[in-house]
Amino acid sequence: MASQGALHSGYNHTTTRSWQSTNTEITSKNLLYPLFITDEADALEEVSSLPGQYRMGINNLEKIVSPLVKKGLESVLLFGVLSRLNKKISSLFPDLLICCDVCICPYATHGHCGILNEDGSINNAASIKRIAEISLSYAKAGCHVVAPSDMMDNRIAAIKDILHKNGYGGKFPDLPLAIYQVSGEFAMLYHGSKAGAFDLKKIVLECLTSMRRA
């Protein structure tokens, strides 16, 4: 007998199912590791404002990610995504959940997350159209979860519409809810701990627990 209900799209992967658990346990299952990717294949450059984080080329992925996967990492969040990258990382780590940051700002000279009109104002319609196209491109390249970080009005509907029309609807949907700290919050915790204001591990676990509780 066919199901009479529709499951949310987040249930199609074991990791995204665990994200929706009501408990506040912090494990490798509910953490994503950020990967900042550059066009230069052999690049490995520390991000000065994010201690311990690197901009890397596609050829350094295995070296960086492999030890983390062995320790239980199950998902990554890619920034600066190259269309060929998703298939590369999938071939290296076939069980890894791949999430891709979706925004315009990394590729725009003005640094804003939208497309501008000639007078400098935001063209919201053009912006969400482009953001939806980027999302589709990532999905075609093998991304499991698109993660829009822009603030354009109505972009979620545009993304869902273009993905569904092209067969990327998450046929038995889970609805994963993800939270992440922006770079300024990361830097605040890191430098606060260096100044002796608090213990880094304790404050990070407190933040993560509050996120899980929420």
Structural domain contains residue 4: no
pLDDT in tens, 46-81: 988 888 889 999 889 899 999 999 999 999 999 986
Structural domain contains residue 105: yes
Structural domain contains residue 122: yes
Q: Check: CB of residue 113 under 8 Å from CB of residue 105.
A: yes
Average pLDDT over the chain, rounded to an integer: 84
- H or E, element range at 54: strand 54-56
Q: Minimal CA–CA distance to 107: which of 89, 75, 131, 84?
A: 131
Tell me which of 161 and 171 has the higher pLDDT. 161
pLDDT on residue 81: 66
Domain extent at residue 195? 179-213
Structural domain contains residue 7: no
pTM: 0.68
126 and 192 part of one domain: no
